[in-house]
Structure 1
Amino acid sequence: MTWLSLSSVLAGGAIGSALRWMLGLALNPVFPDLPLGTLTVNLVGGFIIGTAIGIFDQFQSLPPELRLFVITGFCGGLTTFSTFSAETVNALLRQQYGWSFTIVAAHLIGSLAMTVIGIHAMRLLLK
């Protein structure tokens, strides 16, 4: 670990976390049973990670600190498994079992799909 690596993760994480907080403030009140801010950051984060993987696979000479900034820092700060977990458990505690399943499916399937879409989009664009 170098100071540049650590600084890359810290800077990306700060930006991603701030963006997650702002999106949560703006979108979560829209539909409280399915907080759209949390879903949005996880879907967008999945897409960004997918595009980053596609770019870094194609351009392997890019500095590793850029990968740390984008994937570990920014996307790590932007996406949130813990908030998604808490929102799902809260729905379960309210005995909203079907809704809990919907929340889990939306996050899991949506995030995986967005990652795959991001990877394939970069492969097509960078051919």
Structure 2
Amino acid sequence: MAARFKDLALDAIDHQTLADWWCQALGYARRDPPAGSAERPREWPVPLYDPTGTGPLIWINPVSGPTEGKNRMHLDVYGHTEELLALGATLVRRRDEEIGWDVLSDPEGNEFCVFVPPKPKPPMSRR
């Protein structure tokens, strides 16, 4: 094995605002510095974590300019398109007969795909 997955990183011009947006969209939270450490300077990347412990760590990194062209890597999420649009996402493409998901972009134009959440499995009965 040459590598294994560690974290996701997302670039943003206003990384503080985009970090807040993704926290709200995914139910994530900002990771605090270790106890006894100084606060991170605002110009540093912002680490976001999933409080349930199931999702990956996401770093929102500051950059000086917008992404040129289409993202070559993007996030796929389970979610509700209309709720994400209400939070400030932009619709890029609706699901149709060709694709079974919606394509949205976050407030900085980073595209992501939204899939219908899977139906919960019914509890197993004991016999």
- What TM bracket, shorter-length normalisation? under 0.3
TM-score by length of structure 2 reads: 0.22
TM-score by length of 1: 0.22
Indicate the structure whose relative CO is greater, using CA pairs within 8 Å and at least 6 residues apart: 1
Query: Which structure has the highest strand share of the two?
Result: 2
Question: Which structure has the highest helix share of the two?
Answer: 1
